[in-house]
Structure 1
């Protein structure tokens, strides 16, 4: 089980224990209808509570938020209902992707990788909720912004944050394999391409600890000096989100 490293959250705003209006995030589990859903719910329950604690302490929002597991749609943030929706089917699909890729050969089981990817997904969707509820100004694509926020939260909040983020990045790579040819719809999508999300996440992982994560940067990238870029990018993203969280923190 991944444990939150409260003492090691170097780039995150201190918990807002004195906030008067900080709303606690509520978890809602819909009934599991079949064996796959029941397995998905077990995976959800293994990480949901610690993510709930992380969100409430690090990114309190101004409205009550429900994270509903077992929803029909999603993963998504619904601003109209102030809900994050996570279908059990999504968890099952992620698990099957990792199983089909023989992910256990990396030393991480498919179930563990699914937990990791779910943590990143939850942090991503919560980022949308934080931006919407606290009216945070975001320049550029919001999807890219919350991808970065999710990765930073994992890297700086958990003792194995780089491994968690790496599993999430690998999911982007697996999803990218579904695309044989690109058309206009891919480029109009609000999300960056899965391959771009993969490399952007890898870059932040490397930049957070170049010595520990040196193997994830290829020789070609080193020759292009992407290693120094990623160190700078990690610091830039971390400092910028640190400023935003302080600026929009509930007083």
Structure 2
């Protein structure tokens, strides 16, 4: 059955893939009601969020489409995406939060690579069918409890969650480009922060999606360790998978330390994954992320 826990690492046989990063260019504690544990991003006072979007923000939305798959595995991925309506779900969630200046296509397609990306030339987001099949292997190694049917269902829920995390990341790239927003640090880290913020500030379901995303970085980091990290990975604009695992864990914990205290490794909680030294700074990190993105997106955020 599906676990709400952050996993410190799945035992992967061989390296699944060492760079599923996207963006080429182109506990019972966790089930506490959202309103008791996380402040909605749209209504955070410190972010000075506007009551309604600026007239210049536009009435655009994410428009989902599916291209004909080119391989049998891609056809299975297409069937999964259509059955779960994962793309439609993230599009609806994003459209409820932020106004877009024009319609942005969100296309699922065969890419010949494991990827998801915002394309600044065509002004659209691509979600590759190959991404689904590869990450399914990661989650299949992590979901080990329950019957085969329960494990399969848990893997599919994990994949829906990761799809949300990845596509909100790509939407972050799009927002920076469409609205000419400043990014004073590494853009990949900045849009990771936005994705984590939008999920952690959402309802219970979207907070679970944040956990699914964290667990994907855990599994990929395990694969990195098993297969070795090529030197050119250190030159990539993305943080390493293990860094993304710890960053996302920190931001989720920082969104509400009481609700997510089980994430922190301590003498009383040896199963935690986040070192106490980092955890101490996480509430402040999350507050800064909320303030920074709230300030940047203030003219474009919709009513709660």
Q: Please indicate, yes or no, whether the TM-score normalized by the shorter chain is above 0.5.
A: yes
Task: Find the counterpart in structure 1 of residue 265 from structure 2.
Answer: 218
2:284 pairs with 1:232: yes
Partner of 2:104: 65
1:24 to 40, 61, 64: 61
Structure 2 CA distance for aligned equivalents of residues 23 and 223 of structure 1: 43
**Which range moved further: 119-128 or 50-59?**
50-59
Tell me how far 1:246 sits from its aligned partner. 0.7
Q: d(CA) in 2 for partners of 1:171 and 1:38?
A: 22
Question: Is the 8 Å Cα contact of residues 136 and 248 (structure 1) preserved in structure 2?
Answer: no
TM-score normalized with structure 1 length: 0.85
Shift in Å, 1:222: 5.7
User: Secondary structure at the residue paired with 1:212?
Assistant: coil
RMSD between superposed Cα atoms in Å: 2.8
1:172-211 aligned within 5 A: 172-179=217-224, 180-211=227-258
**CA 1:222–1:82: 2 relative to 1, 3 Å:** closer
2:178 is aligned to 133
1:41 maps to which of 56, 67, 78: 78
Which runs of 5 or more structure 1 residues have no equivalent in the other structure? none
Give the structure-2-normalised TM-score: 0.72
Aligned length: 244
Contact kept? 1:40, 1:88, Cα under 8 Å: yes
Cα separation, 2, equivalents of 1:118 and 1:232: 27
In structure 1, the partner of 2:166 is 121
